Amino acid sequence: MGSGLSRVEEVPDYAMEVQMKAEVPVEDVIATAQAAGRAILQIYNSEASTWEVQMKSDASPLTRADREANAVICQALQNISPHIPIISEENKMTPHSVRQKFQYYWLVDPLDGTKEFLKRNGQFTVNIALMSSNTPVLGVVDVPCQGKTYWAVKGKGAWLRTSEGQQRIQAAEFGFEDKGLKICASASHLNKETEEFIQLFESPEFVQVGSSLKLLMVAEGQAHIYPRLAPTCEWDTAAADIIVREAGGVVLQAGKQDNKGNPQQDWKEELVKEVPVVYNKEDVLNPYFVVFGKRRGGSAAAR
């Protein structure tokens, strides 16, 4: 008499494709960025001794404001879209083997410009982007100290919201041979490559600003060009990137760099290839890049 057990056969390794459709309310994302901005301001306006400043492994600062803004954003985004993963500067990084398969994901910098926060100059932002594969499709950037919120959705334009209402924004048109172009650059990173870039233009007006505000200045037409020939990470730029694109500008790669900002390629040769910055790379470090407003008469090769 047998045991009644049949022989176990090898189970095939099946994979099942599942597609989900869901709506992401843009107003809820805007409200999330603004709530994080209010949380930051509450700490910003308190005694500096309560900021709980720490240094991360890369020697960048981390404050209580970074942590509390991150908590506000992550909780809200989980409520808005529990099925969409979140990548934040202040969360443990998801391995690339996992995130490269993400169809959509949130890319967040809860406090972009922590060094500016510590200087108390007001030049910091809250960045939230919804990514589709390697491209931002929704971006919200709140500027707490200015009472401004910038946002964009792919194909729907770029917008600025204040207490007085909302208006569409457009990048300024310019030609590379124009005199007096306004060029903005980092308040904390000004290297020889950036100086070389600026020298290509005749009598430029140079402005140093912190955080993602520089991309927003180009998107809003307050600056024509922003060269970033120094380190940034994907969460620093994604939200403002789509705002620039929807305002009529471009964010173009200008060559790889190492994590100390040293060029690994000739930035001039790479810039003229006209390749937009892409995201969800194995290394979250951005390449060098240049942000242009509306270019009259052609590409970066014209320069």
The 10 Å CB-count burial string (b at 16+, else e) for 211-243 is bbbbbbbbbbbbbbbbbbbbbbbbbbbbbbbbb
Distance in angstroms (rounded) separating the CA atoms of residues 111 and 115: 10
Asked whether residue 236 is marked as a ligand-binding residue, the answer is: yes
- What DSSP character marks residue 5? P
User: 214 pairs with which residues across the strands?
Assistant: none
Nearest 5°: CA angle at 240, between 239 and 243?
Answer: 100
Asked whether residue 109 is marked as a ligand-binding residue, the answer is: yes
Can you give the length of the chain in residues? Answer: 303
Asked whether residue 112 is marked as a ligand-binding residue, the answer is: yes
- What DSSP character marks residue 206? E
Asked whether residue 202 is marked as a ligand-binding residue, the answer is: no
- Which amino acid does the sequence have at 71? A
Distance in angstroms (rounded) separating the CA atoms of residues 174 and 271: 18
In terms of C-beta density within 10 A (0-12 exposed, 13-18 middle, 19 or more buried), how is residue 118 classed?
middle
- What DSSP character marks residue 150? E
What stretch of H or E contains 77?
A: helix 64-80
Asked whether residue 215 is marked as a ligand-binding residue, the answer is: no
- Which amino acid does the sequence have at 43? I
Which segments are annotated as binding site?
A: 89, 109, 111-112, 236
Which segments are annotated as binding site for Mg(2+)?
A: 89, 109, 111-112, 236
